[in-house]
Amino acid sequence: MAPPLRAERVPAPPLAVLLELTHRCPLSCPYCSNPLQLVGLRDELATADWLRVLGEAAELGVLQVHFSGGEPTLRKDLPELLQHARSLGLYCNLITSGVGVERERLLALQQAGLDHLQLSIQDSEERGADRIAGYAGSHRRKLALARWCGELGLPLTLNAVVHRHNAERVAAMIELALDLGAGRLEVAHTQYYGWGLKNRAALMPTRAQLDAVTAVVEDARLRLRGTLTIDYVTPDYYARRPKACMGGWAQRFVNITPEGKVLPCHAAETIAELHFDSVRERGLGEIWRESDAFQRYRGTDWMPEPCRGCERREIDWGGCRCQALALSGRADTLDPVCDRSPDHAAVRELAERESQAPAPEFVYRKIRPAGNRAP
């Protein structure tokens, strides 16, 4: 066990915990950021484990719990988990594909304690959306779920992942969010982790597409201020400065996998040299405060130059460690999207090259039954 931290180095509690209840999912999205090796049903945490984790999260000082996956509604114990989280005073958010959730199920989740729902959309048009999701009929089901949220008075956020196949329809997706009564829309360019990295050449937008999307979003933000909140996540590969990934490594968020591993960010397991403790073996608070994996890149002490002397060191916290590994081969170096990185020019060239080349076919995560396969 690691020695106790000095009082002045004890980290503040995380704002939120993301519970990946399962990796099972009806969709096959080519940009999925879940790991290539998924956790199977038999290895998922049991209900009692998740209930204990929720208690430990509340004791740690967490304010929000996000139920995610895969598709979290595939867990039959979701109402019980929501009810327990609500009893602990935690704000409950559900991140869902919307496929397979009927109105009665949604009402039961709301009555159990659900405060907010985040629904992913793949496109504004049914054919394109179903093709991206790899599931025929998924778009219609999503629209129905969104309208039920409105009927039940359940706050709704739409998450739209943008790439070269749907960038021209961002304006239509904004109008769709308005039509569905969403209070918030996240327009997020694809982040290349997991299956998304495998499909990067098929998904990378051109610079012209990026500029057009940015203009549409900026115009809509002004025009719809007070009506629809629009969050915008730009593509890292075209950036000059990195983003603060998850608000900084082990700074604000904690992620728990279906089998119970506790991660500082969704893709952290790609850093093979790190050992991630499990809630099966250690308490969540102890892991947050003392785990070597959490302390490794927390704060600024780990930073090399020029990060250490940069005026943005406590703004972007050095960028993304997983992205640094994927693009430079090292997790402990500058995020290559930063123009101070020696690898920055190569990243920009990669983006230009892949976006200008003909897009290869999607590599879907899994082959769906013929009846559900999208055109």
With both helix axes pointing from N to C terminus, report the angle between 78-87 and 47-60 in degrees, rounded to the nearest 10: 20
Tell whether 223 and 305 lie within a shared domain. Answer: no
Q: What does the pLDDT read at residue 370?
A: 36
Tell whether 169 and 307 lie within a shared domain. Answer: no
Q: What does the pLDDT read at residue 3?
A: 40
Q: What does the pLDDT read at residue 37?
A: 87
Sign of the four-CA dihedral 268, 269, 274, 276: positive
Q: 29 among the known binding-site residues?
A: yes
Tell whether 228 and 304 lie within a shared domain. Answer: no
Tell whether 306 and 229 lie within a shared domain. Answer: no
User: Is residue 270, in this structure, part of any structural domain at all?
Assistant: no
Tell whether 59 and 198 lie within a shared domain. Answer: yes
- Going from the C-alpha of 227 to that of each of 17, 124, 160, 184, the distances in angstroms are 28, 19, 18, 9
Q: How far apart are the first and last CA of the chain?
A: 53
User: Is residue 269, in this structure, part of any structural domain at all?
Assistant: no
Tell whether 209 and 320 lie within a shared domain. Answer: no
* Rounded (5°) CA angle 74-76-80: 125
Of 193, 192, 324, the closest CA to residue 267 belongs to 193
Q: What does the pLDDT read at residue 246?
A: 87
Phi, psi of 337 (to 5 degrees): -75, -15
Tell whether 140 and 33 lie within a shared domain. Answer: yes
* Rounded (5°) CA angle 72-137-176: 85
User: Is residue 273, in this structure, part of any structural domain at all?
Assistant: no
Q: 322 among the known binding-site residues?
A: no
Q: What does the pLDDT read at residue 65?
A: 98
Tell whether 114 and 192 lie within a shared domain. Answer: yes
Q: 25 among the known binding-site residues?
A: yes
Tell whether 106 and 213 lie within a shared domain. Answer: yes
User: Is residue 249, in this structure, part of any structural domain at all?
Assistant: no
The number of domains in the chain is: 2
Tell whether 112 and 38 lie within a shared domain. Answer: yes
Tell whether 64 and 207 lie within a shared domain. Answer: yes
User: Is residue 372, in this structure, part of any structural domain at all?
Assistant: no
* Coil, helix or strand at residue 310: coil
Q: What does the pLDDT read at residue 245?
A: 85
User: Is residue 51, in this structure, part of any structural domain at all?
Assistant: yes
Whole-model pTM? Answer: 0.92
Range(s) of the domain holding residue 117:
16-235
pLDDT of the chain, 375 residues: tens digit per residue: 444 444 346 899 999 999 999 999 999 999 998 888 899 999 999 999 999 999 999 999 999 999 999 999 999 999 999 999 999 999 999 999 999 999 999 999 999 999 999 999 999 999 999 999 999 999 999 999 999 999 999 999 999 999 999 999 999 999 999 999 999 999 999 999 889 999 999 999 999 999 999 999 999 999 999 999 999 998 899 999 998 988 999 999 999 999 999 999 999 999 999 999 999 999 999 999 999 999 999 999 999 999 999 999 999 999 999 999 999 999 999 999 999 999 999 999 999 999 999 999 999 977 443 334 444
Q: What does the pLDDT read at residue 365?
A: 79
Buried/exposed code over 248-265 (b: 16+ C-beta within 10 A; e: otherwise): bbbbbbbbbbbbbbbbbb
Domain boundary among 217, 235, 253: 235
> Residue 40 is part of a domain; what is its CATH number?
3.20.20.70
User: Is residue 34, in this structure, part of any structural domain at all?
Assistant: yes
Domain boundary among 178, 212, 235: 235
Domain boundary among 195, 218, 235: 235
User: Is residue 166, in this structure, part of any structural domain at all?
Assistant: yes
